[in-house]
Every structure is written in structure tokens, then in C-alpha cells.
Amino acid sequence: MSSVQLTRNQILALVSEANRAPSVHNVQPARFGFTTDDQGNLTVLLYSDQNRRLLAGDPLRHDEGTSLGAAWEGLRIALARQGLMLELLEWLDPGLSPAHPIYADLKQVATGKIFTLPESARATGASSDDLAEFVFKRKAYRGKFKPAIPSQIHGLVESLDAKASLVLNEPSEIKDIARLAGGATSRLSKHLATQIELLQWLRFTPSDKGYYEDGLNAEAMGFPKSVALIAKSALHLSTKPGIFKTGLTGVLIDETPAIKSSSAILILFAPLGADAATRGRILYRSWLEVTRAGLSACPMSVLADDPQTQAALSEMKTSSEPMQVLTVFRIGVSPEPVLPLTVRLQPEKLVTIS
């Protein structure tokens, strides 16, 4: 292996691609630093932006860590596309390592080095990643699905790690998941602090701050303009003290009809106690496999976040090893042949170079 030099434009392109990785509520906490050590090796530092924490919805920083792990995997895939290798030297989980180095509002999470593989390895394709071509095709679809053909579901099952995944495609199974999701959504709608926090990351009209940068905007949520305006007013009203207990939010964000249109439900698991790098890798690569199968997915994070449904889903795991629910997707075929990509921050806001 040999060291590598990258221009500023190359680094910006790399972090832009890395930041296409899944991020819970599209919060995008990952920040990257690039520096060269005394031996000429290019060092990468991964940070978590502390201004983007979900204090109410993610107090243990589990989702934050998974998003960071996915971004690290995204950088690894982006580098592999260029025939480069990313070696992880240290990982500090946000929720498990309180003694992180902190620089202003950034908390250091990982350190790695970038190498150029020998020509012999590049010639055999050893550095390539066969999921790279699906990075810019992966997109959540939140509307009703068209049916998938059985071979698509079968191909997806074959491509996934059997220990870390479970695909449910019987109508009765999908109906059961819809029932669990309805209960979880109802319980969520009665937690005022969580509702207010989630509302801060919803963008209903272009005048909302961050509409073209982060969070979930009207297009991502599948809201026409008129519906977005009604939802904005209703959701703001539902977080007023004395009103939120009506569960109005739960009615507005009920996904039961969309869930029932699914061809399958994908439950992802991670080894119990797995670090965030492992969780992020499972999440991102599994979603890319969904894309490779010609399918679309919509995350149902409420199922993994709700303790009651998480316990029920944990009992479904097929592996004999201790596993924890990572997340749940509903799967199907988008009626739109090409989906607009979810908005992301500009790469200049993600990186420091020294």
C-alpha cells in the first residue's frame, strides 16, 4: 500500500458522495476532516456535529451513531470507486465514549487513513465495490407501492445477510406489521418533547429554513403543496400544551395504507452491542441491496424506536446469536421510474482540509 494525495475538489466530491448515506430524519451529523501526517499519509477524521443531536428522540445516541457509521461506509465506498482504500484506525461511539476530543461543536468519532492499493490489486478489482453504482439511485419512497414481482423479493432475500435480516412477504405478516406500526405511532404522538423535536426537522414549504439542505421536505414526504400547508398548521397546533394528547399527529402521519401496499417488510438486525460502524454498514449496504433488486424502501423507524414494538420484532429474529433490531423498512416498487434524491448539505459545509 502507498500513500495518496487528493485535491480539494476530489475531497469535496468524496464527502458529497459519503453524505448520501442514510441519516436518521436526514439530520446529517457527519463532518469530515482531512490532514496529512508526517509520513505523507492522508488521515481522515470523522466528527459528529453536536448541533444536530436528537436529544428527545435519541437520548442514547444510538441513531446518531448509526448515521455516522453509514457515512463512514459511504466514504469507504466512494474511495473504492477511485481504487482507494480506507483503513479504520479508531472508532469512538458517541453514546459509549464520553471522553471524545471535542473541537468547537464537533465531537471526534473515528480516525482512518487512505491508501492506494498496489497495481496488482487494482487490476483484479480488489478495491472496487459492486454496490457503488447504486449510491445515487437509492431513495426512500413514502407513498403507496406498486407490487413487486416474486423474483425481485427472492433476489433481495438471497443478497442479504441471513443473520442480519428478515423479509416478511405474506399479506398476514404485513398486516401484523401495520398494526404494530399503528400502535407505535399512537404512542409516539403522545410524547410532546419528541413531537416538537421531530417537527423541527420537517420542511413543509420552500420558505422553511433548510428546505433544500436537510430534514424531510414536502417532496420527500410525498406531500402536495396544499397538503403540506395543512399538515404544517396541524402539526404545529398538535404540539401545543393541552392539545397534543389528542394524538392529532398520529392521525396525520399514520402510514397504515402505505404499509399495506408493501410487497414485503424488511427487518434489519445487528449483533447485540455492535458498534456504530457495524450498524451503519449493515444499514447502508442492506438498503443498497434493496436498490440493486429494483425495489424502493421506506424506513419505519418508529418500530425500532418504540420499546414495545422493538421487543415484539426481536422475537422474530432467525439467528441463534444475540441480536438487536436495527430498523425496519417497507418494500415495494415505486410508481415513479426516477425518484428525486433527498436533499443534502453542500460538501463545503461538511469538510475541513489542512
- What domains are defined for the chain? 2-137+342-353 (3.40.109.10), 140-184+256-338 (3.40.109.10), 190-252 (no CATH)
Distance CA 319, CA 160 (A): 13
Give ∠ CA 94-97-103 in degrees, rounded to 5.
70
**Predicted pLDDT at 337:** 78
Grid cell, residue 32, equals 469530515
40 — alpha (psi -120 to 50), left (phi > 0) or beta? Answer: left
Q: Assess contact for 289 and 156: CB atoms under 8 A.
A: yes
Please give the mean pLDDT across all residues of the chain: 88
pLDDT at 124: 57
Which of 105-119, 207-221, 240-254, 290-304 comes out lowest in average pLDDT? 240-254
Any residues with CB less than 8 A from the CB of 106 and at least 6 apart, and which? Answer: 31, 47, 48, 49, 50
Nearest Cα to Cα of residue 328 among 113, 181, 179: 181
Q: Per-residue pLDDT for 38 more than 60?
A: yes
**246 has pLDDT over 60:** no
pTM score of the predicted model: 0.92
Taking the CA atoms of 78, 66, 139 and 340 in sequence, report the sign of the dihedral they define: negative
What pLDDT shows up at residue 73? 98
Q: Could you tell me the pLDDT band of residue 244, with boundaries at 50, 70 and 90?
A: very low
In the predicted model, is pLDDT for residue 259 greater than 90?
Answer: yes
Name which residue leads in pLDDT, 151 or 233. 151
Query: Looking at residue 224, what is its pLDDT?
Result: 83
